[in-house]
Amino acid sequence: QVCAQLCRRPCYCPWVPPRCPRGSPLVLDGCGCCKICARRLGEPCDFLHVCDQSQGLICDYSSASAGTGATCNFEDDEEGCEVNGRVYRDGEIFQPSCKMQCQCLDGGFNCIPLCQEDVRLPTPDCPYPRRVEIPGKCCPEWICEAQDQHLLRDARAVSPLLRFPCQEWGTEWSACSATCGVGFATRVSNQNRYCRLETQRRLCVLRPCPALPAAFPA
């Protein structure tokens, strides 16, 4: 009876389908008649305005009794996170770009860089380092600008390497890159065989990540 009242036959739909916001696909309405924009997580919904089922969303009527109306929610009511208009389930690992990998945790998300975030300081053999984007590669790379060889020889003559005891120097280790699980910390130091300033990194763990809920047997 509800379908008979809300769904009219034949269908009368606009000539031009609606333009949906990013992350909201075109789907058929609840009557299976016209193309509409699927409702996203937290958006209002009803019989006609359906939720995005590709994201595991259903129209949750549990809050309708409180007078707030039905909203789109996960079917099992688990927490998720929305990034760039797309919803990810709790515990899901995703890459918003080729330079970063993230994991959805407890409604938020933690990310670690996939490109080496090092800092190259000038050295006698590379006095003018420059980081450039390489076509076809995701991560930028360091190159050394071509300089006058006389300047390079003068720099080596003033500070010849490995001809004197290395005076160790380094910065403090940075904060861990991840709030839970394995991350990395970086520092700038000359504690290496060539006594050159370089960016060093080491693994770190502030705390274990929360355990994911066990899946119920089918």
Q: Where are the domains of the chain?
A: 1-76, 78-117+130-143, 170-207
Pairing of strands 80-83, 57-60: unpaired
Q: Tens of pLDDT along 53-81?
A: 888 888 888 766 666 688 888 776 556 77
Yes or no: say if 26 and 14 are a contact pair by the CB < 8 Å rule: no
Instruction: Look at residue 136 in the predicted model and tell me its pLDDT.
Output: 87
CATH architecture of 1-76: Irregular (4.10)
For residue 17, pLDDT over 80 is answered with yes
Q: Cβ(120)–Cβ(199) under 8 Å?
A: yes
Of 150, 118, 143, the closest CA to residue 129 belongs to 143
**pTM (2 decimals)?**
0.36
> What pLDDT shows up at residue 216?
52
- Looking up tokens 């938020």, which residue turns up? 108
Determine the average pLDDT of the residues in 154-158: 45
How far is Cα 199 from Cα 120, in angstroms, rounded to an integer? 7
DSSP 65: G
Up-side HSE of residue 29: CA atoms within 13 Å toward CB?
A: 18
Q: How far apart are CA 127 and CA 156, in angstroms?
A: 11
Domain at 170-207: CATH code: 2.20.100.10
pLDDT digit string, tens, across residues 158-208? 444 445 567 778 888 888 888 888 888 888 888 877 777 788 888 888 888
In whole angstroms, give the CA distance from residue 179 to residue 176.
7
**Residues with Cβ < 8 Å from 157, sequence gap 6 or more?**
none
Q: Give the SS3 label for residue 152.
A: helix
pLDDT tens digits along 71-119: 888 776 556 777 777 778 778 888 888 888 888 887 777 888 888 777 7
